[in-house]
Chain A
Amino acid sequence: MNNVNSKIKKASRHTNQNEGLIFEKSSPGKRAFELPPLDVPAADPAKALGARWRKNGVEGFPEVSEIEVVRHFTRLSTWNYAIDLGMYPLGSCTMKYNPRVNEYVARLDGIATEHPYQPQELSQGCLKILRLLEKCLLEITGMDTITLQPAAGAQGELTGLLLIRAFLAKQGNPRKKVLIPDSAHGTNPATAVIAGYEVENIKSESHGQIDVAKLRELVTEDVAALMITNPSTLGVFDTHIAEIAQILHAKGALLYMDGANMNALTGIAKPGDFGVDVMHLNLHKTFSTPHGGGGPGAGPVAMKKFLEPFRPVPVIVEKEGGLVVREFVRPDSIGKVRAFGGNFGVLVRALAYILAYGPGVRQATEDAVVNANYIRKHLEGFYDLPYSLPSMHEVVFSDALQKKNGVNTMDIAKRLIDYGFHPYTTAFPLIVHGALMIEPTESESKEECDLFIDAMRSIAEEAAKTPEVVKTAPHTTRVSRLDEVGAARKPILRWKPAPEESAAD
């Protein structure tokens, strides 16, 4: 295997200790956390709870020591790739550096400790944070008003569509359909259905953009909105955006923008200026809050004035004298999309990110776009570029050149792992067959970009000369390709004790 990996410049990740499940280390009588003693008389749980008493605690719960817990999770962590280790070129994910000061401030006493139901006079710190974040996001998006309540992008999309629905219903007709481009992220159509709309797909034209002529045909008084991502999931800015907005507005329909690609626009252009009526932001993408293996995120929704009355409750209002309050009585509000007001801890992190940059956040956008174009320039010719329009913060190639040797985008992605990188986004957007969707973000240095380019060029060569190496990748990970078919046919979704063990109890 030596010559297979000789071109790999990054040190390969070392194989770490095999580690079983925590339940497999469990043994009765081991304790990891002790509670301080009771300072009140003990109560008899049998008396307090009667027949509902769970006498022996939770069956099967682990019993391990503190050091075993620390080692267990530390070992597990070493099996993960992470931004702290290297680039994630994942398209439309914006895997940028998660600043550590954000973690520090989110954990401060007086920030982490506050209860959402405590009196407003005792929550001015929290409310001021929320109000400042609202103002910053409105300035960035060019919109009039905002809600910070949604827990993630998908929930933000739902909130946006519910706002649209409420507005149109108030005018007499909520309408029936939402138009969605075939290049859209899967949450878009899923959300439209939950909001009670029919989805009508609009096919992209030959450059992957919205087909304006087709749009003109499709927009009728049955259409509530078009959900657009701009720049598109191909990383291309739709120059016809103003015309698109006009077509919709002329028929009383609205323009919803999926803000996943704001990393190409922050400080450069404002969606509110080019005709967007309502949009969501992904704080865990553009605004650096950590992905943490899959969440939490936050999906604030910014909108134009005419949608203001429909905002979820509570809304944040600045009173005279500087007091910031939550207002709960709003007759036209769509209600709540989740309890307690929003992912405050995530919102704190996003504000910390914005304050660190200030107006200089424009530089981050510029660097992100430079990185993507630099990578595009150096991989053109090595990989097929299905659309020739200029890229912004992300670029989409296809595996057409490599397919000739039976190597597809999934294989290339897996081989990229051996080179020390996380794969790019495979097989999305759907309009590009065999897509390689690459978004480096501004967090990557020239050095890291060069290493990525080298790796991708090397893999292209391997695909041509020694395709088997690519097709059977990865070769340097702790586990090799996992059987997803078996996992789906006979799902095992939890640990269970072996039968002899439970019989012995």
Chain B
Amino acid sequence: MAYPSNYRYTKDHEWIDVKDGIGTVGITDYAQHELGDVVFVELPKIGTTLEVGKVFGNIESVKAVSEIFAPAAGEVLEANAELQNKPETINSDPHGAAWLVKIKLANPADVAALMDAGAYEAFLTAKGKEASA
């Protein structure tokens, strides 16, 4: 799967897409692949304040729980309720329909500090080499 060029990416495999001061956050295709079949998603309540790099939720597969880290600071405006009924969307459409939360960015500079698509792909390639070394 291609990594959308207008998104920014974290080292923990979250993505963020910014429009008019609102950031839509999700996890990347790499992350969903590592997790395996997703069975449950735990997301924060509307109004919660996220801090950069801090845990804001969990994604569960059958055998593991993965924490999700906030790529940027902000207030949660919306959480994707669809994922409660169809957590498998994270596996099938991680960059689109499986967005996790929408936040009002507290500090747009947070996003500028993140990797772009090219840098993220390079990061993944380096990871792959490291693993098979």
**Chain B, Cβ-Cβ closest to A491:** B39
Query: What 0/1 readout, one digit per residue, does chain B (39-82) give for beta carbons within 8 Å of chain A?
Result: 11000000000000000000011110000000000000000000
**Chain B, Cβ-Cβ closest to A427:** B63
Give the residues in chain A near B40, CB-CB below 8 Å: 488-489
Number of interface residues of B (CB under 8 A): 9
A485→B88 CA distance, assembly (Å):
10
Give the residues in chain B near A427, CB-CB below 8 Å: 63
Give the residues in chain B near A485, CB-CB below 8 Å: 37, 39, 61-62
Give the residues in chain A near B62, CB-CB below 8 Å: 484-485, 488
Cβ distance B16 to chain A, nearest Cβ, rounded Å: 27
Cβ distance B23 to chain A, nearest Cβ, rounded Å: 28
B87 at the interface (CB under 8 A from A): yes
Give the residues in chain B near A488, CB-CB below 8 Å: 39-40, 60, 62
Query: What 0/1 readout, one digit per residue, does chain B (77-95) give for beta carbons within 8 Å of chain A?
Result: 0000000000110000000
Give the residues in chain A near B37, CB-CB below 8 Å: 485
Cβ distance A460 to chain B, nearest Cβ, rounded Å: 22
A427→B62 CA distance, assembly (Å):
14
Main secondary structure of the interface of A (DSSP, over half): helix
A489→B62 CA distance, assembly (Å):
9
Give the residues in chain B near A484, CB-CB below 8 Å: 62
Give the residues in chain A near B60, CB-CB below 8 Å: 488
Give the residues in chain B near A489, CB-CB below 8 Å: 39-40, 87-88
A427→B39 CA distance, assembly (Å):
20
The residues in A between 476 and 499 inclusive whose CB is less than 8 angstroms from any CB of B are: 484-485, 488-489
Query: What 0/1 readout, one digit per residue, does chain A (413-448) give for beta carbons within 8 Å of chain B?
Result: 000000000000001000000000000000000000
Cβ distance B39 to chain A, nearest Cβ, rounded Å: 4
**Chain B, Cβ-Cβ closest to A485:** B37
Query: What 0/1 readout, one digit per residue, does chain B (8-20) give for beta carbons within 8 Å of chain A?
Result: 0000000000000
A-B contact count (CB 8 A): 14
Cβ distance B43 to chain A, nearest Cβ, rounded Å: 16
**Chain A, Cβ-Cβ closest to B37:** A485
The residues in A between 367 and 386 inclusive whose CB is less than 8 angstroms from any CB of B are: none
A488→B60 CA distance, assembly (Å):
10
Cβ distance B92 to chain A, nearest Cβ, rounded Å: 13
Cβ distance A433 to chain B, nearest Cβ, rounded Å: 10
A427→B64 CA distance, assembly (Å):
12
Give the residues in chain A near B63, CB-CB below 8 Å: 427
Give the residue among A427, A484, A489 with the most B Cβ atoms within 10 A: A489
**Chain B, Cβ-Cβ closest to A489:** B39
A489→B61 CA distance, assembly (Å):
9
A485→B35 CA distance, assembly (Å):
12
A280→B126 CA distance, assembly (Å):
45
A489→B36 CA distance, assembly (Å):
13
A164→B95 CA distance, assembly (Å):
49
Cβ distance B61 to chain A, nearest Cβ, rounded Å: 8
A489→B40 CA distance, assembly (Å):
7
A458→B40 CA distance, assembly (Å):
38
**Chain A, Cβ-Cβ closest to B86:** A489
**Chain A, Cβ-Cβ closest to B39:** A488
Give the residues in chain A near B39, CB-CB below 8 Å: 485, 488-489
A485→B38 CA distance, assembly (Å):
8
A427→B61 CA distance, assembly (Å):
15
A485→B90 CA distance, assembly (Å):
14
The residues in B between 19 and 43 inclusive whose CB is less than 8 angstroms from any CB of A are: 37, 39-40
A427→B63 CA distance, assembly (Å):
10
**Chain A, Cβ-Cβ closest to B64:** A427
Give the residue among B61, B62, B87 with the most A Cβ atoms within 10 A: B62
Cβ distance A146 to chain B, nearest Cβ, rounded Å: 36
A89→B87 CA distance, assembly (Å):
36
A77→B18 CA distance, assembly (Å):
58
Cβ distance A50 to chain B, nearest Cβ, rounded Å: 43
**Chain A, Cβ-Cβ closest to B36:** A485
Cβ distance A477 to chain B, nearest Cβ, rounded Å: 19
A458→B61 CA distance, assembly (Å):
32
Cβ distance B72 to chain A, nearest Cβ, rounded Å: 28
A484→B39 CA distance, assembly (Å):
9
A489→B37 CA distance, assembly (Å):
10
A488→B88 CA distance, assembly (Å):
11
Cβ distance B83 to chain A, nearest Cβ, rounded Å: 11
A210→B62 CA distance, assembly (Å):
30
Cβ distance A324 to chain B, nearest Cβ, rounded Å: 48
Pairs across A and B, CB under 8 Å, 13 listed: A427-B63, A484-B62, A485-B39, A485-B61, A485-B62, A488-B39, A488-B40, A488-B60, A488-B62, A489-B39, A489-B40, A489-B87, A489-B88
- Partner-B contacts on A (CB < 8 A): 427, 484-485, 488-489
Beyond the given A485-B39, A485-B62, A489-B88, please list 9 additional residue pairs across the A-B interface where CB-CB is below 8 A: A427-B63, A484-B62, A485-B37, A485-B61, A488-B40, A488-B60, A488-B62, A489-B39, A489-B40
Closest 4 CB pairs of A and B: A488-B39, A485-B37, A484-B62, A489-B39
